[in-house]
Structure 1
Amino acid sequence: MKTVLNLSVAALVLARSIYLYAGDDYEEHGHHVSSVAAKPMTQRDKSAMALYTKECGSCHFAYQPEFLPKRSWDKTMNTLDNHFGTNATLDPADHKTIQGYLTTHASKSDRMTGMGGEVAIRISETPNFKREHREIPQKMVTQAEVKSFANCTACHTKAAGGSYREREVRIPNYGSWE
């Protein structure tokens, strides 16, 4: 009996781990939602993520690497001299560390990005992003408290932790998105 119970507990732990790290898609209120789940990280990855958050997050939200495939992060990192109109070049060692972090944890398929052969550098231009945000009126996005779709944390209350569930969306001056 004890062996069966231990196997059952082990199966539940394994199932929960698969859910947490699979980037599982599910339906919520009739809308398709993609959860972005972090992959297990080494201490080196954690240091690289801290550097990424410090360097890139000082100007904008430090997007989870899973939002774009490797080729998109490579293109972004290799054009930092003109990063959306700003020179965002980095020290060579920091550049290598951040690029390694982003490409290691990038989307392995087009499931999240839906880009096919295209190389997007704006997450807001990916088909998955457009599909998930298609019903949001422009006036909610262009208001001073949000400014643009690039400002994830303005509405997604748990975006920094990688959660983009619909029930966690609070649009400034409008409230919950239901």
Structure 2
Amino acid sequence: MNHPIRPLVSAVLILGVSAFTLAGAIADGGHYYPPVTDKTTAEECGSCHMAFPPSMLPAASWKKMMGELDRHFGDDASVDAATADLITRYLTSNAGDSSGLRFSGKLLRDIAPGAAPQRITELPRWKREHREISKAEWNDPKVKTKANCAACHDGAAQGYFDDD
């Protein structure tokens, strides 16, 4: 006689193992960074470039960057004080070194405590991950800049930066 609970137990075990495997793959791969979910941050930052996941940099980086919007990588990206405060709070509370976040460990591993790097493309881990990309690939008109993640990573807007 078949026991009615066996299929249910099997399904629960399969789901559990699948979830554990997926979570491990994401955590181990180190290429997932939760995308920006705050509407104001996405709109303001995304109006000029991809709104980079906050967990890609430590809180000190975001504080410094938001405090220098009038000199934002050669442009004036100034916003009103209330908007700047909202964006700063969002970025710093979701930064890579914020409590409880586990997504940026590998990317920020080589950063000194308290450091405030301003370019994700200057992080030691980023450089190692991209060291085999030729100058010709960087100069491709579709790429234009090393900060154009979506040119090579189809899932960048969703937070996935695995090799495509």
Q: TM-score interval w.r.t. the shorter chain?
A: 0.7 to 0.9
Letter in 2 for 1:15: F
Shift of residue 154, structure 1, vs aligned partner:
1.1
Alignment correspondent of 2:130: 133
Question: In structure 1, what is the Cα distance between the partners aligned to 2:156 and 2:49?
Answer: 13
Secondary structure at the aligned position of 1:164 is classed as: coil
Matched, 1:151 2:135: no
Q: Cα–Cα, structure 1 residues 165 and 147, in superposed 2: closer, same or farther, change >3 Å?
A: same
Q: Cα–Cα, structure 1 residues 122 and 37, in superposed 2: closer, same or farther, change >3 Å?
A: closer
Shift of residue 155, structure 1, vs aligned partner:
1.2
Shift of residue 96, structure 1, vs aligned partner:
1.3
TM-score, normalised via structure 1 length? 0.73
Shift of residue 50, structure 1, vs aligned partner:
1.6
For the aligned residue pairs, the C-alpha RMSD in angstroms reads 2.6
Q: Cα–Cα, structure 1 residues 158 and 134, in superposed 2: closer, same or farther, change >3 Å?
A: same
> Is the contact made by 2:33 and 2:53 (CA closer than 8 Å) also made in structure 1?
no
Letter in 1 for 2:53: Q
Correspondence for 1:106 among 95, 104, 110: 95
Give CA deviations for 1:32-89 in whole Å, capped at 9, x if unaligned.
xx222429xxxxx84xx22111111111111111111111111111111110111111
Shift of residue 10, structure 1, vs aligned partner:
7.4
Shift of residue 165, structure 1, vs aligned partner:
1.3
Shift of residue 14, structure 1, vs aligned partner:
6.2
Correspondence for 1:161 among 155, 158, 163: 158
> Is the contact made by 2:120 and 2:126 (CA closer than 8 Å) also made in structure 1?
yes
Aligned pairs, how many? 151
Shift of residue 9, structure 1, vs aligned partner:
6.3
Q: Cα–Cα, structure 1 residues 121 and 55, in superposed 2: closer, same or farther, change >3 Å?
A: same
Question: In structure 2, what is the Cα distance between the partners aligned to 1:35 and 1:77?
Answer: 25
Secondary structure at the aligned position of 2:65 is classed as: helix
Higher Rg of the two aligned structures? 2
> Is the contact made by 1:35 and 1:164 (CA closer than 8 Å) also made in structure 2?
yes
Shift of residue 111, structure 1, vs aligned partner:
3.2
Matched, 1:52 2:41: yes
Letter in 2 for 1:125: E
The structure whose RCO (Cα within 8 Å, separation 6+) is larger is: 2
Identity %: 34
Letter in 2 for 1:25: D
Alignment correspondent of 1:81: 70
> Is the contact made by 2:33 and 2:56 (CA closer than 8 Å) also made in structure 1?
no
Shift of residue 90, structure 1, vs aligned partner:
1.0
